[in-house]
């Protein structure tokens, strides 16, 4: 027998459902929601951690932060005021956040836009066009992300070569590691019905561009047509934090979500970039780009999409696997 859900419980379930669309490292969707009695608890799902690319679970936590922000925006846009308790129980570090509806709320325009951008956001790995993303637009994205507590550094043109160098180095080092190749092959060859992983159809083959992107199809397979552009108008934003611990990683994820949704609202295409932060050597090199001290967490490429078919959307796990799952 199922017990009737209260309106708050229904709204929390709806938000967790909406948050399934959140981007995550290798589309691992490394979270689980437990909803009961007016609370939604977000847990890290360690079984979905990338043990080679992400041994500390940093990008797992960043991904959960994205899902948290998506859920918060869905609730805010639906007119709910929400209390958020981050990492509430030191005895249970996998419990990353607890959401409680505490009243009604008049959504801001930014929240309404963010809520409606969730379904329209997809990672686009094609090179973006030469149409430059204006400084003022980048400024808006930075403000949106920084209200979530992390910092954002806009990489200026003089430093693109450093970013490109770290991306080339990360790609070469990772792909020469058999353990990384095995992990990549695993997550790029999931059966379509599983609703997880990165299908090669969403990857693009290597083409000349300002900063190379992670190669998700080094073993072959169908890929998206890259078009004729080379990212000349693209801008690169680096999210970084003062601390380097789970609280900071969660905050970086919330900032990543805010930045991506604001970019979609501004008519931009987006692609997160984290390979450059996955090895200590390239992550250290990225630090030299920051205006002060800080820990690089994840970068984002934003730009205007080329003409032609966009990559197909990636799929998601069934909701019952991620929301109040049986095991
Ligand atoms: C923390 C994080 C790191 C990511 N790193 C990369 C990356 O290095 N390269 C890339 O092309 N996509 C990256 N992505 C995008 C994911 O691969 C993508 O979100 C996932 O495959 C689901 O596809 P979607 O964004 O189109 O929904 C990252 C996403 C997150 C949240």
Which residue, among 83, 86, 13, 100, has the nearest Cα to 43 in the 3D structure?
86
**Contact of 289 with 162, CB cutoff 8 Å:** yes
Q: To test ligand 1's pocket by mutation, which of 24, 215, 315 has the most ligand atoms within 8 angstroms of CB?
A: 24
Confidence at residue 327, expressed as pLDDT on a 0 to 100 scale: 66
Q: Quick one: residue 46, left, alpha or beta (phi over 0 = left, psi -120 to 50 = alpha)?
A: alpha
Report d(CA 152, CA 142) in Å as an integer. Answer: 6
Tell me how far apart the 2 most distant CA atoms of the chain are, in Å.
Answer: 64
The DSSP bridge partners found for residue 81 are: 103
| Mean pLDDT, residues 2-9 taken together | 82
Confidence at residue 3, expressed as pLDDT on a 0 to 100 scale: 64
Which CATH number applies to 135-303: 3.40.50.2300, 3.40.109.10, 3.90.110.10, 1.10.150.20? 3.40.109.10
Confidence at residue 4, expressed as pLDDT on a 0 to 100 scale: 75
**Per-residue pLDDT tens digits for 21-37:** 999 999 999 999 999 98
Residue 176 has pLDDT above 50, yes or no: yes
Residue 223 has pLDDT above 60, yes or no: yes
- Indicate the SS3 state at residue 130: coil
Confidence at residue 326, expressed as pLDDT on a 0 to 100 scale: 85
CA of 61 to the centre of ligand 1 (A): 13
Q: Is the CB of 113 under 6 A from ligand 1?
A: no
Q: Whose CA is nearest to atom 20 of ligand 1?
A: 27
- Confidence category of residue 1, pLDDT binned at 50, 70, 90: very low
Report d(CA 152, CA 135) in Å as an integer. Answer: 14
Q: Is the CB of 314 under 6 A from ligand 1?
A: yes
Residues above pLDDT 90, as percent of the chain: 95
| Mean pLDDT, residues 45-72 taken together | 98
CA of 301 to the centre of ligand 1 (A): 11
Residue 60 has pLDDT above 50, yes or no: yes
Q: Is the CB of 126 under 6 A from ligand 1?
A: no
Confidence at residue 37, expressed as pLDDT on a 0 to 100 scale: 83
Q: Is the CB of 255 under 6 A from ligand 1?
A: no
Report d(CA 173, CA 282) in Å as an integer. Answer: 10
Which CATH number applies to 7-120: 1.10.8.50, 3.40.109.10, 3.30.950.10, 3.60.20.10? 3.40.109.10
CA of 28 to the centre of ligand 1 (A): 9
| Mean per-residue pLDDT over the chain, rounded | 96
| Mean pLDDT, residues 64-91 taken together | 98
Residue 47 has pLDDT above 90, yes or no: yes
What's the Cα-to-Cα distance from 108 to each of 105, 115, 117, 119, 248, rounded to whole Å? 9, 11, 14, 19, 26
Domain boundaries, the chain: 7-120, 135-303
Report d(CA 157, CA 14) in Å as an integer. Answer: 42
| Mean pLDDT, residues 160-171 taken together | 98
Q: Is the CB of 272 under 6 A from ligand 1?
A: yes
Q: Quick one: which atom of ligand 1 is closest to the CA of 59?
A: 1
Q: Is the CB of 275 under 6 A from ligand 1?
A: yes
Q: Quick one: which atom of ligand 1 is closest to the CA of 197?
A: 21
**Per-residue pLDDT tens digits for 228-256:** 999 999 999 999 999 999 999 999 999 99
Residue 82 has pLDDT above 80, yes or no: yes
Q: How far is CA 95 from the centre of its chain?
A: 19
CA of 311 to the centre of ligand 1 (A): 13
What six digits make up the tokens of 109? 């325009």
**Contact of 179 with 145, CB cutoff 8 Å:** no
- Find tokens 């003022």 and name the residue: 136
Residue 307 has pLDDT above 70, yes or no: yes
Confidence at residue 94, expressed as pLDDT on a 0 to 100 scale: 98
Q: Can 7-120 and 135-303 be said to share one CATH topology? A: yes
């Amino acid at each position: 027998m199922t017990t009737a859900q209260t309106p708050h419980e229904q709204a929390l379930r709806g938000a967790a459902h909406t948050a399934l669309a959140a981007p995550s490292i290798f589309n691992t969707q490394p979270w689980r929601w437990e909803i009961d009695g007016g609370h939604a608890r977000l847990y890290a799902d360690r079984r979905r951690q990338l043990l080679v690319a992400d041994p500390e679970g940093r990008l797992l936590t960043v991904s959960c932060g994205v899902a948290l922000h998506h859920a918060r925006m869905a609730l805010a846009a639906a007119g709910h005021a929400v209390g958020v308790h981050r990492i509430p129980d030191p005895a249970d570090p996998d419990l990353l956040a607890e959401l409680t509806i505490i009243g009604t709320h008049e959504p801001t325009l930014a929240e309404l836009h963010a809520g409606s951008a969730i379904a329209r956001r997809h990672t686009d790995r094609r090179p973006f066009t030469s149409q430059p993303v204006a400084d003022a637009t980048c400024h808006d994205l930075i403000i949106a992300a920084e209200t979530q507590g992390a910092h954002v550094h806009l990489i200026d043109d003089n430093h693109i070569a450093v970013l490109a160098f770290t991306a080339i180095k990360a790609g070469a080092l990772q792909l020469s590691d058999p353990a990384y190749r095995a992990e990549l092959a695993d997550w790029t060859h999931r059966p379509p019905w599983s609703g997880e992983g990165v299908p090669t159809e969403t990857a693009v083959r290597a083409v000349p561009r300002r900063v190379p992107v992670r190669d998700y199809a080094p073993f072959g397979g169908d890929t998206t047509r890259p078009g004729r552009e080379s990212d000349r108008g693209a801008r690169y934003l680096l999210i970084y934090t003062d601390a380097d611990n789970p609280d900071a990683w969660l905050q970086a994820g919330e900032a990543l979500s805010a930045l991506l949704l604001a970019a979609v609202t501004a008519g931009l295409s987006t692609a997160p970039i984290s390979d450059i932060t996955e090895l200590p050597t390239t992550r250290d090199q990225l630090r030299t780009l920051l205006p002060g001290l800080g820990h690089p967490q994840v970068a984002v490429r934003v730009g205007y999409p080329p003409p032609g078919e966009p990559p197909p959307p990636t799929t998601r796990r069934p909701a019952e696997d991620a929301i109040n799952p049986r095991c």
